[in-house]
Each structure stands twice: as structure tokens, then as C-alpha cells.
């Protein structure tokens, strides 16, 4: 019997690497995909040696939409689970000033991830099995002055995942939306995050693995974020627009 395989897209991210370890620990073979993939050679041997599984490396550029079909056809095996951890926050002030920067953020968080998952979704649908996991963000739940460019792209991605789940629910393919809240990663290194609300990449990885096992639909990593976002969504716009959040 051949082993299950998990494909991690955006594997250079801290969440991506942590997710790779959590699946490898369960015995999955791992496919890592990212730009300049050869710089992840050390991660490849690390995962192989710690967990005694096979790891393959695949060059992938989320923004090069034309290459997505080809990328999937080059995979040694169509994976059983795909986790897309591609994301880029940018700096809000720059995103406001410079349209090209903003477009880059929009494309990296929405167009790229949606594009590759769309291709994989079709293959999974054909096969009649598989799980697609998108790492989206609570920032997409309501636009805030602080990060609405990033947030709006994530909102798009969340809606995409929701629609995809709806479409594939009867086709044997499961779609999971992950809304991690704050996570202590390279991306948030310079931000001063409250420790009670901040998850470690490992916690996200365990949550993703559990969601795949238990076929959850939408998960928050730290439960408190479910409550926080409920409250934030309930605030009337009249007040919300004047608030500093």
C-alpha cells in the first residue's frame, strides 16, 4: 500500500514548515513547494531524518498563474492532502501609497492561492477524493484601517474556499478554511503581539492536522478568536468606522 502524501504550498513560511512536520510525523510523504525551492534542502533532510518519510522539493511561483497546471502535472504523485500557506502581508502604508505593491499583496493572498487550489480541486474532483486546506486569516472577516489590503485579499480567499467546499462537498473532496489569528512567525516578527492571543506555528500545524483527520470545515487555532471575531462582526458600522482596532 502506498503512503499518503501531503503537498505544502508556501513551504518556506513558518506555518508551512510546521505543517510539513506534523504530517510527516503521522507518516505522510511530503511534497514541499515554494519559490527558490533549493534553499529548502536543509528542511528536506530534517523532515526525512526526523520522521523517516520521503520528501520531494518543487519550484512554485504563486503569482505565475500560467505555470500552475504544469506544476501539478510535474508532481510525482497527486497528493491526498494539500495545505496552501502562501501569504504576504506587506506594509499597510506602502500598500495605500503604491498601487503595484497593493496589487502584489492582493495577488499573493488571493489570486495565487485560489489559482493553484482551483487546479488541484479539479484533479481531486476527478479522482473523487482529497482534502484541500487554505490558510486564510481573521483579517478577512472585517476590513480594518490597519490592514485592509491584506484583509480584503484574505476575505476573497475565504469566500473562495467556502464556495469550493460547497461545490465539492458531494464529490468526496473536503475543503478546510483555517483562520489562525495571530501567529508568531517571521511575517509578524516586528509586531508586538499579545501572547495570550498568539499561537505558535506548531499549534497551527496540530490544528490543521486535527481538522484534516476530523473533517472540520472552518477552524480558528486559538478558540478565543472565534469569540473575538463574533464580537467584531457584530459592531454596527456606524461605530466601527470610528474605532481604532
Q: How far apart are CA 106 and CA 149, in angstroms?
A: 7
* Residue partners of 38: CB distance under 8 A and separation at least 6: 57
Stretch near other proteins under the rule CB under 8 A, chosen from 3-11, 49-57, 66-74, 136-144: 49-57
42 binds other proteins (CB under 8 A): yes
- C-beta atoms surrounding 33 within 10 Å: 27
Instruction: Let me know: does 222 contact 197? Beta carbons within 8 Å.
Output: yes
Residue 18 beta carbon to other proteins: minimum distance, rounded to whole angstroms: 12
Q: Which is nearer to other proteins, 52 or 93 (CB)?
A: 52
Residue 139 beta carbon to other proteins: minimum distance, rounded to whole angstroms: 23
Residue 47 beta carbon to other proteins: minimum distance, rounded to whole angstroms: 9
Q: Which is nearer to other proteins, 40 or 84 (CB)?
A: 40
Q: Which is nearer to other proteins, 4 or 46 (CB)?
A: 46
26 binds other proteins (CB under 8 A): no
Stretch near other proteins under the rule CB under 8 A, chosen from 26-34, 48-56, 84-92, 217-225: 48-56
Q: How far apart are CA 106 and CA 101, in angstroms?
A: 9
Contact map string, positions 66 to 85, toward other proteins, x by CB under 8 A = --------------------
- C-beta atoms surrounding 158 within 10 Å: 22
129 binds other proteins (CB under 8 A): no
Residue 179 has φ and ψ, to the nearest 5°, of -115, 90
Among 4, 26, 35, 46, binds other proteins (CB under 8 A): 46
Instruction: Let me know: does 105 contact 113? Beta carbons within 8 Å.
Output: no
Stretch near other proteins under the rule CB under 8 A, chosen from 41-49, 116-124, 130-138, 208-216: 41-49
Q: How far apart are CA 141 and CA 31, in angstroms?
A: 30
186 binds other proteins (CB under 8 A): yes
User: What per-residue string of b and e applies to 216-244 under the rule 16 or more CB within 10 Å gives b?
Assistant: eebbbbbeebeebbeebeeeeeeeeeeee
| Residues engaged in binding other proteins (CB under 8 A) | 42-43, 45-46, 49-52, 186
Amino acid at each position: 500500500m502506498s503512503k499518503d502524501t501531503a503537498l505544502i504550498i508556501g513551504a518556506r513560511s513558518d506555518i508551512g514548515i510546521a505543517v510539513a512536520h506534523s504530517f510527516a510525523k503521522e507518516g505522510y510523504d511530503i511534497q514541499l513547494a515554494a519559490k527558490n525551492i533549493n534553499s529548502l534542502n536543509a528542511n528536506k533532510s530534517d523532515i526525512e531524518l526526523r520522521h523517516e518519510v520521503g520528501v520531494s522539493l518543487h519550484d512554485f511561483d504563486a503569482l505565475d498563474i500560467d505555470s500552475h497546471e504544469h506544476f501539478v502535472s510535474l508532481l510525482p504523485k497527486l497528493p491526498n492532502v494539500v495545505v496552501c500557506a502562501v501569504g504576504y502581508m506587506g506594509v499597510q502604508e506602502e500598500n495605500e501609497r503604491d498601487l503595484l505593491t497593493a496589487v502584489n499583496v492582493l495577488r499573493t493572498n488571493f489570486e495565487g492561492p485560489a489559482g493553484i487550489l482551483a487546479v488541484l480541486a479539479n484533479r481531486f474532483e476527478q479522482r473523487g477524493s482529497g482534502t484541500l486546506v487554505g490558510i486564510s486569516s481573521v483579517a478577512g472577516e472585517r476590513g480594518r484601517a490597519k490592514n485592509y489590503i491584506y484583509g480584503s485579499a484574505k476575505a476573497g480567499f475565504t469566500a473562495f474556499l467556502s464556495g469550493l467546499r460547497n461545490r465539492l462537498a458531494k464529490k468526496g473532496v473536503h475543503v478546510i478554511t483555517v483562520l489562525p489569528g495571530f501567529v508568531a512567525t517571521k511575517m509578524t516578527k516586528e509586531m508586538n503581539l499579545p501572547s495570550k492571543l498568539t499561537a505558535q506555528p506548531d499549534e497551527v500545524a496540530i490544528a490543521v492536522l486535527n481538522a484534516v483527520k476530523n473533517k472540520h470545515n472552518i477552524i480558528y487555532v486559538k478558540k478565543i478568536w472565534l469569540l473575538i471575531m463574533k464580537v467584531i462582526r457584530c459592531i454596527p458600522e456606524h461605530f466601527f468606522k470610528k474605532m481604532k482596532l
